Amino acid sequence: MAGFNILKWLYKHSPVNFYSITDNGETIIKSINNTSVGYKYSQEFDKNTIEKLRKTIKKFKRIWTMSLLLVYVAVLYYIIFPNYELLAENLSKGIIIFLILLIITFTMAIINSKAFEFYLNKKFGSYEKVHFPSSNSIENQSYKEFKIELVKIFSLFLILFGIYICIGSPYETTLKLISKQRYNDAVKMSSIWAKILPLDQRWLSMRGYAKFKTGDFQGAIEDYNKAYEIEKDEFKTMNFDNKIYIKYYTKDYKGALEDFDNEINKGKDIFEQDPFLWDKAQFLYNIGQYNNALKIYNQLIVNSDNDLLYLIQNRLYYERGLVYQKINKIKEAQADFAKAEELNLEEAFKQDIPEPTILLDQIKED
């Protein structure tokens, strides 16, 4: 029983196996887009002709590959990424985009094939379109080139894997740059990957952090805005909170309060509004607007009867007691502290209302 050679099988079915010679001395050239289609000529091409043809086919394939790649990148970055949420929620629109990509691919393939056929007809004369034969005859030079290409691809994977092992992932590398306070380098690294992976909010978040450290406050706010829009989740509001911190740090209190109000107004119910209401109440406390903070705490305590998911009653009473202290309403403050005790507020939570802060996961700076 003859052994099975996987490399020869792959070669016979690959674009690299671009021509064959029949027993009748005919040359059949494989289509550059459809590996089952061939163009038959009645004569056998000599080695010089074959070599020139080989180089020409490489050019056609490179042009085809690069053109298709550029089209895919354009569709990805200008259609899919900007409308990701809409496409994810509407399956029919996603299917339409997929069909458009298929149409574009087939259209470009037809154009490329026609151009190649025009070249063949002009260079070698008329041909007969046939099925490209999958024979057992292996043309030595092409087979050798095929194996060389496989070695190149395998070597590239090994090199990339070695680089990954040596320097770590780009994400970890950027975190290390930030931890070493090399903020400008971190901005450059995260900018590159924010372009490559525009739906991964971590790169915008890291760049926002690095920009803040360099003093580019507006740039940091813009990055945190984009990151929050990509991953807007009430459980993952770090990017929103970081934006608020920068406005607190730069004393843009009006801008921060407008951001809170925008998110609160977007909320469909108390479960979506309460987290931002509580953050806003704490923010008002920290900027000294105690009466406005008190109004929100009153509302939150009422909401807490129904919203047990986000609101912790004993802590709300304690924080409202702190607000009462600031406006010299001691009896009301004591009553709220007593209520918090009654609701079993632990000693560890009897702390002042926290100030805004900026966070980045896994970052520990000296």
What the chain holds in terms of domains, given with CATH numbers, is 18-136 (no CATH), 170-349 (1.25.40.10)
Instruction: Examine the pLDDT at 364 and tell me if it is beyond 50.
Output: no
Binned at pLDDT 50, 70 and 90, residue 94 comes out as confident
Residue with tokens 């569709």: 75
- Please check whether residue 337 is in contact with residue 322, taking contact to mean a CB–CB distance below 8 angstroms: no
- Using the structure block, give the residue that is written with the tokens 């702190």: 322
Give the contacts of 279 (CB within 8 A, at least 6 positions apart): 241, 244, 260
Residue 250 contacts residue 288 (beta carbons within 8 Å): no
pLDDT over 70 at 168, yes or no: no
Q: Looking at the predicted structure, is the pLDDT value of residue 257 above 70?
A: yes
Strand stretches in the chain, DSSP E: 19-21, 27-30, 37-41, 128-131
Structure tokens of 95?
Answer: 């299917």
pLDDT in tens, 298-318: 999 999 988 877 888 999 999
Q: Looking at residue 1, what is its pLDDT?
A: 44
Average the pLDDT over each of 78-92, 186-200, 260-274, 324-338 and give the range with the smallest value. 78-92
Q: Measured between alpha carbons, how far is 272 from 259 in angstroms, rounded to an integer?
A: 15
The two most distant CA atoms of the chain are separated, in Å, by 108
Measure the CA–CA gap between 205 and 183, rounded to whole angstroms: 13
pTM of the model: 0.65
* pLDDT tens digits along 177-222: 999 999 999 999 999 888 888 888 889 999 999 999 999 999 999 9
CA-to-CA separations, 81 to 86, 100, 241, 349, in angstroms, rounded: 10, 16, 24, 42
